[in-house]
Amino acid sequence: MNSIRLRVSVFLFEMVVWGIAVLPAQTAPAIALTLDATQAPEKILHTRMVMPVQPGLLTFYYPKWIPGEHDPSGPIGSVAGLKFMVDGKEVPWRRDLGDVFTFHVQAPQGAQSLEIDFDYIDSGGAFGGSATDKLVVVSWNQNLLYPAGLPAAKISYHATLRLPEGWKFGTALPQESSKDSEVTFAPVALDRLVDSPVVSGEYYRAVDLTPPGEAIHHEIDMVADSAEALEISPEVQKGLTNLVAETGKLFGTRHYHNYHFLLTLSNHVAHFGLEHHESNDSRAEERGVVSPQGRRGVGGLLSHEFVHSWNGKFRRPADLSTPDFETPMRDDLLWVY
């Protein structure tokens, strides 16, 4: 067999193998993800995932490289009680010897679905956490695993979120249904799910920021440790509405279906901002919108993260646009971002 025929034969063989391995996953139904945040005041969130599988060796990743953070910052150290089950029976698993974010599971003969359970402990660490006794910020990358072998855009999740009684929430995720303190979101690809955090709390307020004549809805969703912290003034509301209007004039287009400024006001969570395509996860001190000094800081934070929706999310350097959350990001063009 000459070299050309050999290469063609190898190529055809690889296509058959990849077809067997990949096509069932591409046509499989969405992975069912239930995130129970009813213990958020105790800083515990419980994940349950159910997905169709076939017998054999399976590999799963915990998200490592988080967009916008530009480093392998996935909080794997906060994962506890990990279990894999088939038909109610635990299945042995092992962590990859070279990568603590990778898990291998041997699905037994006859397996048709796999259940994954674990807790996320919001310990906070040196920079503070994402939950208090009055609120929680849900970052989906912290509360799921995903199967190896497909890009994040090709893996679908059907997520349900359970919240403490009476808590309200804000997010850019499209909703499918809600009842009492449980909301089910429409199925979305993994990359969009991770790009769509949720803020929720006992004290919640949504304020419309859509400029007159704009067709695309904009709002700010605020959660805080007190009702008083949500008393946004008409002047601040007008300033944020003007910000939305000015970005429309500056960029000339809007690349999203709607936009949510997700603002957490607490002295007991990490303070930072993280950009997303249709929202931003911004966190400030409890008096961030009611004190003059706080308003200056919040105004700069929200405008900064909002502009990143265009520069950094909608458009970004190729080496920062990775197919999944396991592939390392290269930051040689981070200055453009």
| pLDDT range class, residue 128, cuts 50, 70, 90 | low
Residue corresponding to tokens 């929202």: 279
pLDDT at 127: 52
Q: Is the pLDDT of residue 287 over 80?
A: yes
The whole-angstrom separation of Cα 39 and Cα 196 is: 21
Higher pLDDT, 5 or 113: 113
Q: Which domains does the chain have, with CATH numbers?
A: 30-201 (2.60.40.3650), 203-307 (1.10.390.10)
Contacts of 326 (CB under 8 A, 6+ apart): 61, 63, 64, 65, 101, 102, 148
pLDDT band at 209 (very low <50, low <70, confident <90, very high): very high
pLDDT band at 265 (very low <50, low <70, confident <90, very high): very high
| Contact yes or no for 78/122 (Cβ under 8 A) | yes
Closest CA to 118 of 62, 52, 181, 160: 62
* Cβ contact 243:262 at 8 Å: no
User: What global pTM score does this model have?
Assistant: 0.90
Cβ atoms of residues 54 and 25 within 8 Å: no
pLDDT > 70 fraction of the chain, expressed in percent and rounded = 91
At 3 the pLDDT is 42
Neighbours of 39 (CB within 10 A): 16
Task: Judge residue 268's burial from the number of C-beta atoms within 10 Å of its C-beta, 0-12 exposed, 13-18 middle, 19 or more buried.
Answer: middle
Average pLDDT rounded to a whole number, residues 245-252: 96
Q: How many CB atoms lie within 10 A of CB 103?
A: 20
Residue 98 has pLDDT above 90, yes or no: yes
Q: What is the mean pLDDT of residues 214-218?
A: 97
Cα angle value 174/179/182 (rounded, 5°): 70
CA distance 175 to 160: 10
pLDDT in tens, 62-97: 999 999 999 999 999 999 999 999 999 999 999 999
Question: Mean pLDDT over residues 258-278, rounded?
Answer: 97
pLDDT tier, 28 (very low <50, low <70, confident <90, very high otherwise): low
Cα–Cα distances (Å) from 184 to 48, 134, 162, 262, 328, in that order, read 14, 22, 9, 19, 32
Tokens 């025929």 locate to 5
Cβ–Cβ under 8 Å, residues 307 and 299? no
Give the dihedral of Cα atoms 6, 9, 11, 17; nearest 10 deg.
-140
E strand intervals along 39-180: 44-52, 56-61, 79-86, 89-90, 93-95, 102-107, 113-121, 135-138, 146-147, 156-162, 168-171, 175-179
The residue type of 116 is: I
Phi, psi (deg, nearest 5) at residue 217: -75, 135
Cα(245)–Cα(212) distance, integer angstroms = 9
Residue 124: which pLDDT band, with cuts at 50, 70 and 90? confident
pLDDT of residue 174: 97
**pLDDT tens figures, 289-301:** 999 999 999 999 9
Residue 139: closest CA among 274, 6, 48, 303: 274
